[in-house]
Structure 1
Amino acid sequence: MQYKEAILYLQETDPKLSQLINKVGECHFASATPQTNLLSALVWAIIAQQISTVAANKIYQRFLIHYTQEEPLQVTTLLQATDEDLRSIGISRFKIRYLRNLAQFISSNGSIFDNLENLDDQTVIQSLSEIKGIGQWTAQMILIFWLQRLDVLPSGDLGIRRAIQHLYELEKIPSPEAVTKIGEKWKPYRTIASWYLWRSLSDSILGINL
């Protein structure tokens, strides 16, 4: 998928973001999702809660090596995984509980996800939030990286907030409400704007030391 139209729109509507886009270069958002099915995408999103993307990807790769052997992840595999094995991979006790909740929920109610791609963003968030351990941020990661919706802004994400602080030279990290307000001008391409903000952190383009 090409994002030329989205990038041109963002550059025209936000000079600060335009500078960042020029520094980062081409958008590779479509290639940012290595998961093979919705279950594995949800596992990655749970693992990624409140830790850096780099750390999350390392833990997730260990998870894949241990449990999938290059095959799509199955609910039965997750149900049979022991706490000891999951802990040895680097998954916290709280997240192990969330993974258990996820596996049990899908085992009993998996059909509710069959039509997920045809639901609007808010309904997707509401559906996923029925699973204990999955909140708005985790559901937004599914919208962004699995369903690849183009107009999602995870305003509570600390990385997004820090990137905006540095990009706009703000004295303090903006609140989620302030991020939402700033992001109004990025509609209907807030996902692409978010991708560039995340990239600014990983590349240290804005001089942020993580």
Structure 2
Amino acid sequence: MSTRRSARLSAASDLKSSSAPPPAPPAAQPAKRGRKRKADAEVPTEPEANGAIPEAAPAPTTPSKRRAPKKSAAATGPPATPTPSRAKLIAEPAGRAAAPTTPKPRPAAVSRLADPNATNAVLLSPETSRVVASSRTKAATAATTTATLLEEANRHLISVDARMRPLVEKNHCRIFAPEGLAEKIDPFESLCSGIISQQVSGAAAKSIKKRFVELFVDSADGKGDEETTPPPPPFPHPSQVAACPLERLRTAGLSQRKAEYVQGLAEKFVSGDLSAQMLADAPYEEVVERLIAVRGLGRWSVEMFACFGLKRMDVFSLGDLGVQRGMAAFVGRDVAKLKTSKAGKFKYMAEREMEEIAARFAPYRSLFMWYMWRVEETDVSTME
């Protein structure tokens, strides 16, 4: 009897326990995005001894990177102007870049007629190395000569604006001095040098030019006696460059485009579109028009060639950043406060204002421009 009762009680107890609701499952963790979700899935959760489920360990997070603050235009400053350092290669006398380390004797200054509105350089024919004389300077009626040109130009600048006096007294412009005007310039070499120097440092440009000249030197040329220094190799003639394959020109360090520019320039001289005689006699506007038509020669390059190569006294470059900055400082403005145009270009002074100021210094604006590159090296405030 007791055995049956015990069996019934045991069965009722089992039935009661089986009908009880199961324990609630743990709350589902919200889905996470990106790398955190993957990290959470890799951390298993095990029940503790008391049946509680521990919280999942926080997923490792990558610290956010701090962005460097953008530098303002005023902080970074304007791009460096390549003038006048880059123009030095344009103004080099014929064959000077290929000369050995021993300096070549400078030619003696010879007084001859000069004209502020004409070419005053001694030009060589690129094909024959013959000296080309300008018919315009021969016809000049004024008594201006290469010995007095710089002195007369400086007097004119000072008479226009007394603030030019400290600039003139501190800086000697050798370009238009008698010794500078006595140097012989090969216009083809000068223009090639301008193309070679584009977008490279001065040292790189000289190295490329040296290798360019050596491409056209025969193995037997340039060899002197053991006791004498061999003469520097001459700059190649336009006909040699025009006939040279582009692949060979590139071995000197020229890019494909620069090789095409140099060869195109040579073809202009070979065809007669450009010549030393034309550059010596033509008006400035015609010189600019002829040269800008050549691929690889922009307005700035042409203006620098006219000033430093042809030694023309009335050239003025509105697009040169160094001239802009110098003129702004010259009229008393704080150039440290950089102004930018809507196009994002650095501007210190409007071109119209630059033209108006420079016009007063004609016909010696080339010399005025040269002094503007050196304004910040000279205190002109005492003359205000």
Q: When the two structures are superposed, what TM-score results if normalisation uses the length of structure 1?
A: 0.77
1:117 is aligned, of 265, 277, 280, to 280
CA distance in 2, matches of 1:59, 1:12: 41
Contact residue 17 and residue 167 of structure 1 kept, 8 A: no
CA distance in 2, matches of 1:146, 1:20: 23
CA distance in 2, matches of 1:35, 1:111: 18
Matched residue type, 2:313: L
**Does 2:219 match 1:85?**
no
CA distance in 2, matches of 1:13, 1:105: 41
Change (3 A) 1:41 1:19: same
Change (3 A) 1:185 1:20: same
CA distance in 1, matches of 2:309, 2:185: 9
Change (3 A) 1:41 1:179: same
Which residue is equivalent to 1:178? Answer: 353
2:210 is aligned, of 65, 81, 96, to 65
Structure of greater relative contact order (alpha carbons < 8 Å, 6+ residues apart):
1
Which residue is equivalent to 2:267? Answer: 104
Matched residue type, 1:27: C
Which residue is equivalent to 1:17? Answer: 164
Which residue is equivalent to 2:31? Answer: none
Contact residue 193 and residue 209 of structure 2 kept, 8 A: no
Deviation at 1:5, TM superposition (A): 1.0
**Does 2:377 match 1:205?**
yes
CA distance in 2, matches of 1:197, 1:92: 33
Change (3 A) 1:39 1:59: farther
**Does 2:311 match 1:148?**
yes
* Structure having the larger proportion of residues in helix: 1
Greater Cα radius of gyration, structure 1 or 2: 2
**Does 2:328 match 1:165?**
yes
3-state SS, counterpart of residue 114 of structure 1: helix
Contact residue 328 and residue 349 of structure 2 kept, 8 A: yes
Alignment of 1:125-144 (within 5 A): 125-144=288-307
Matched residue type, 1:180: E
Contact residue 307 and residue 313 of structure 2 kept, 8 A: yes
CA distance in 1, matches of 2:273, 2:327: 37
Contact residue 167 and residue 206 of structure 1 kept, 8 A: no
Change (3 A) 1:93 1:33: farther
Change (3 A) 1:73 1:184: same
Q: Percent identity?
A: 22
Change (3 A) 1:120 1:108: same
Q: How many positions carry a matched residue from both structures? A: 196
2:187 is aligned, of 13, 23, 38, to 38
**Does 2:139 match 1:4?**
no
Deviation at 1:121, TM superposition (A): 0.4
Contact residue 195 and residue 262 of structure 2 kept, 8 A: yes
Change (3 A) 1:144 1:174: same
Runs (5+) with no aligned partner, structure 1? none
Deviation at 1:110, TM superposition (A): 4.7
Change (3 A) 1:108 1:101: same
Which residue is equivalent to 2:369? Answer: 194
Change (3 A) 1:206 1:175: farther
Matched residue type, 2:284: D
4+ residue runs over 6 A deviation:
32-35
Matched residue type, 2:377: I
Contact residue 196 and residue 208 of structure 2 kept, 8 A: no
Contact residue 250 and residue 256 of structure 2 kept, 8 A: no
Q: CA RMSD in A?
A: 3.0
Contact residue 143 and residue 152 of structure 1 kept, 8 A: yes
Q: When the two structures are superposed, what TM-score results if normalisation uses the length of structure 2?
A: 0.45
Deviation at 1:113, TM superposition (A): 4.9
